C-alpha cells in the first residue's frame, strides 16, 4: 500500500507487545493508521497488525532496532513511503536490564545496552521524526503533528538494583522537555507519558511482589495494576488534540503512585 490517506499515521516503537500493543490498538480505534515497529517477535507484530486492521486502520510492520541509526532512518522512510505522512511518533520501545545488579556491583555492559536502546535511540529517532514533520507541515501534508515519549515512574524513583534503567528513563524525561522547547515554534507538541506498574511481560517476573504492594500495602491509591489500555487512552487524548495548549507536559498513568500522602 502507498500514498497519502485521509487517516493520520502514527509510528509506535516497540508496538508488538505490552504497552506498545495497547497504544497501537487504541490509536487504530481513534482513526489512525499505524506503523508497528518491532525487533524480534514478528508473529506478535503480525497479530497486532491484524488487530489494527480489525479496528479500521491500515497497518504496516517494520522490523527495526531503535538503537541502530540505519534502522531508525528506515523506520521513518518506510512510514512516509507507505503512508505518505507522519502525524504522530510514539517513542515506546525499551528494555529492562538482563540482570538486576546492585549499584555498587553493576557493570558497563548492561549500562551501555540500556542507554543505547532506551535513551540514545529514542533521542535520535525523535530528531528524525521532527525533521520529517517540519518538512511535511511546510508541504501541507500534515497539520499539528505530535510526539509522545513513554517513560516510566523510574524517571524519578530510585531502584538501586537497576540504576541503568532509572538513568535512561530520567534522560527520557529531559528529552521530552528539550524537544518540547525546540519544536514549539513549529506547532509540534511533545508529551511525556509516565506509566506506573503496568501488567506486561516485563513486569511478569515480579507479579507476586507487586500484587502484595498494590493490594495489601497501598503502594498506589488506586489499588489495581495498570493495563496497557490505560496508557493507550492517554496517548489517544494527545493524538486527538485534546491537549492543544500543553507541551512538555508529564502525564502520569500510575494509579496515583506519584502522590505524596501523610
CB atoms within 10 A of CB 6: 6
Number of separate helices (H) and strands (E) present in the chain: 8, 7
Please report, in angstroms and rounded to a whole number, the separation of the first and last CA atoms in the chain.
56
Tell me whether residue 179 is one of the annotated catalytic residues.
Answer: no
CB atoms within 10 A of CB 240: 14
* Residue 50 φ/ψ, nearest 5 degrees: -65, -40
Instruction: Please tell me which residue in 32, 123, 165, 191 is annotated as part of the active site.
Output: 165
Q: Which three cell numbers stand for residue 140?
A: 501541507
Helix (H), strand (E), coil (C) string for 27-93: HHHCCCEEEEEECCCHHHHHHHHHHHHHCCCCEEEEECCCCCHHHHHHHHHHHHHHHCCCCEEEECC
Q: Residue 193: which H helix or E strand, with range?
A: strand 189-195
Cα(58)–Cα(165) distance, rounded to whole angstroms? 33
Cα(219)–Cα(212) distance, rounded to whole angstroms? 9
Give the CA dihedral 162, 11, 122, 111, nearest 10 degrees: 30
Residues 92, 12 contacting (CB under 8 angstroms): yes
Question: Would you please indicate which residues are annotated as catalytic (active-site) residues?
Answer: 165
Amino acid at each position: 500500500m502507498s500514498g497519502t490517506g485521509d487517516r493520520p499515521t502514527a509510528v509506535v516503537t516497540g508496538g508488538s507487545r505490552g504497552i506498545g500493543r495497547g497504544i497501537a490498538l487504541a490509536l487504530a480505534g481513534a482513526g489512525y493508521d499505524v506503523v508497528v515497529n518491532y525487533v524480534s517477535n514478528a508473529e506478535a507484530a503480525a497479530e497486532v497488525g491484524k488487530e489494527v486492521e480489525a479496528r479500521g486502520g491500515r497497518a504496516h510492520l517494520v522490523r527495526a532496532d531503535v538503537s541502530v541509526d540505519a534502522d531508525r532512518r528506515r523506520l521513518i522512510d518506510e512510514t512516509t513511503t507507505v503512508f505518505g505522512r507522519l502525524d504522530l511518533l510514539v517513542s515506546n520501545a525499551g528494555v529492562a536490564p538482563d540482570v538486576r545488579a546492585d549499584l555498587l556491583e553493576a557493570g558497563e555492559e548492561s549500562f551501555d545496552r540500556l542507554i543505547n536502546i532506551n535513551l540514545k535511540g529514542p533521542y535520535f529517532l525523535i530528531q528524525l521524526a521532527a525533521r520529517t514533520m517540519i518538512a511535511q507541515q511546510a508541504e501541507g501534508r500534515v497539520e499539528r503533528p505530535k510526539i509522545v515519549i513513554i517513560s516510566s515512574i523510574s524517571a524519578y524513583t530510585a531502584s538501586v538494583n537497576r540504576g541503568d534503567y532509572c538513568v535512561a528513563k530520567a534522560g527520557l524525561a529531559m528529552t521530552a522537555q528539550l524537544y518540547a522547547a525546540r519544536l514549539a515554534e513549529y506547532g509540534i507538541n511533545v508529551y511525556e507519558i509516565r506509566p506506573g506498574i503496568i501488567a506486561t511481560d516485563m513486569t511478569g517476573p515480579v507479579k507476586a511482589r507487586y500484587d502484595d504492594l498494590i493490594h495489601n500495602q497501598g503502594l498506589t491509591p488506586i489499588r489495581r495494576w495498570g493495563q496497557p489500555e490505560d496508557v493507550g487512552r492517554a496517548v489517544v487524548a494527545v493524538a486527538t488534540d485534546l491537549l492543544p495548549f500543553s507541551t512538555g507536559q508529564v502525564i502520569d498513568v500510575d494509579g496515583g503512585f506519584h502522590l505524596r500522602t501523610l
